[in-house]
Amino acid sequence: MNAISPFPDDFLWGASTAAYQIEGAAEADGRGPSIWDTFSATPGRTFEGHTGAVACDHYHRWREDFQIAADLGLKAYRMSVSWARLQPRGRGDLNPAAVAFYREQLADLRAKGIRSAVTLYHWDLPQVLEDEGGWPERATAEAFADYAARTAAALGDLVDEWIPINEAWCAAFLGYHVGVHAPGRQDRTAALRAAHHLNVGHGLAVAAIRNAVPGAKVGSAVIMTDVEPASDSATDREAARLADGGGNRLFLDPLFKGSYPEDMLRHFAPTGAFDAVRPGDMETIAAPLDFVGVNHYHRFVIEADPSDEHLKGRALPPSGPVTSFDWEIRPDSLRRVLERLSADYTDLPVYITESGASFDDAVGADGTVDDADRVDYLDGYMKAAGRAIEKGVNLRGYFVWSLLDNFEWAEGYAKRFGLVRVDYETQRRTLKRSAEWYRDVIATGGESLSWN
Ligand code: IFM
């Protein structure tokens, strides 16, 4: 413990990335197509038709990127491995070139003294599996378990923390209901079935990893939203309860309570989607974990909207300061979700596996990027994380999203979240002021945050 800062000395100050958002090299060394290659190549799906085909060219420039991570003093780095690179056809033997690539990366992190947290699925489903029905089908969860088993066996000696699936809510609902993410389907029942199979896939992968790597540390990366009713009226409170159910409890309850919330089962009963639940599934999903990872970006203030088919509500536009995504800046929401996680679900060690913000960074005449708004954002959110520790939350790490500017899914390269600027024309990396500021936060164990 430091003099002012509530963060413990062994706190994992980290940063996160994901394979499709940074690697590029979409056709290199036998990689197969993923749903994001297909989706982003389809006209009208992403901002100005941007794709991850080149992205940050991290596949070829990762040594430079990891040197930056080391220079910042990162204690941990969260990355994902690409299923479509490791299993180009979605099943079967791993691609040796992909195994060699990730082994080299992981060994380099270890040599630099940076812990690795590896996500197995950060949304890049091999296209061949989507062609067979994708996550709404149980076969995809089974294929995921096979991929997890093989990948854990191939990389397990070099990985410190495993995270099977990133933000199952986004993969299920943005991908299969709203349709703004790959594979771009708009079918609510399919999305609910996908949610269940992503949950099952998580549980199967936990078992597969533990089987392949005795002693492996396995956790999650659940997106947690702070939900509040717009008023004290019964209808707004009911709408907020449903929004919390569909966004948070549908994923947290099965993980930590071994069941779907009763109100969600009732609400979604007309869809028949939960007929997909088979005997034993809930035990599989609730496999004990070593830590819980939380990704946090939003508070939603929910007003009842009877015309909304899905959850009978709508989120009001934020009234206060926002990021360039129009996402509300409200650090206290991070404290609230962390305390709620502790109160309602688990006392496992918690990592904030993603927290960060997009801003329209301006590049100065001298090439520098003075991203004061990102510094303020992170300062506020890190202090909120500190307050959660003071309230007794077992918080052990904070991974900033993201180390680098990168391919922000449907928004392409228009939204920048990085501590490090990427010039996509030249692939030049420039440390933003937030990166230098974070280096001091890490070096002082959080004492350099603006506590007063
Ligand atoms: O870029 C994404 C990331 O892939 C998943 N969590 C949210 C980030 C910002 O939108």
Tens of pLDDT, residue by residue over 355-395, are 999 999 999 999 999 999 999 999 999 999 999 999 999 99
Does residue 168 lie within any of the structural domains?
A: yes
CA of 297, closest atom in ligand 1: 7
Query: From the CB of 408, is ligand 1 less than 6 Å away?
Result: yes
> Per the structure, how many domains does the chain have?
1
Angle, nearest 10°, between helix axes 331-344 and 372-390? 30
CB-side neighbour CA atoms (13 Å) of 67: 6
Report CA(418)–ligand 1 centroid distance (Å). Answer: 11
Indicate which residue of 23, 130, 354, 408 is catalytic. Answer: 354
Query: From the CB of 354, is ligand 1 less than 6 Å away?
Result: yes
Tens of pLDDT, residue by residue over 307-330, are 999 999 999 999 999 999 999 999
Closest CA to 115 of 53, 147, 161, 57: 161
Does residue 113 lie within any of the structural domains?
A: yes
Query: From the CB of 401, is ligand 1 less than 6 Å away?
Result: yes
Reply yes or no on whether 354 is catalytic.
yes
Number of helices (H), then strands (E), belonging to the chain: the values are 16, 13
Does residue 23 lie within any of the structural domains?
A: yes
CA of 21, closest atom in ligand 1: 4
Does residue 451 lie within any of the structural domains?
A: no
pLDDT-based confidence at 2, cuts 50/70/90?
low
Query: From the CB of 16, is ligand 1 less than 6 Å away?
Result: no
Position of tokens 């992190």? 109
Q: What is the CATH number of the domain that holds 194?
A: 3.20.20.80
Does residue 3 lie within any of the structural domains?
A: no
Give the pair of three-digit tokens for residue 150.
């093989």
Indicate which residue of 167, 303, 328, 408 is catalytic. Answer: 167
Which of 408, 415, 422 maximizes ligand 1 atoms within 8 Å of its Cβ, making it the mutation to test the pocket? 408
Reply yes or no on whether 238 is catalytic.
no
Cα separation, 304 vs 318, whole angstroms: 16
Which of 180, 296, 409 maximizes ligand 1 atoms within 8 Å of its Cβ, making it the mutation to test the pocket? 409
Residue 70: what pLDDT? 98
Tens of pLDDT, residue by residue over 70-115, are 999 999 999 999 999 999 999 999 999 999 999 999 999 999 999 9
Does residue 383 lie within any of the structural domains?
A: yes
- What average pLDDT does range 53-68 have in this prediction? 98
pLDDT-based confidence at 452, cuts 50/70/90?
confident
Report CA(126)–ligand 1 centroid distance (Å). Answer: 19
What is the extent of the structural domain holding 423? 12-443
Does residue 1 lie within any of the structural domains?
A: no
Tens of pLDDT, residue by residue over 268-296, are 999 999 999 999 999 999 999 999 999 99
Cα separation, 67 vs 76, whole angstroms: 13
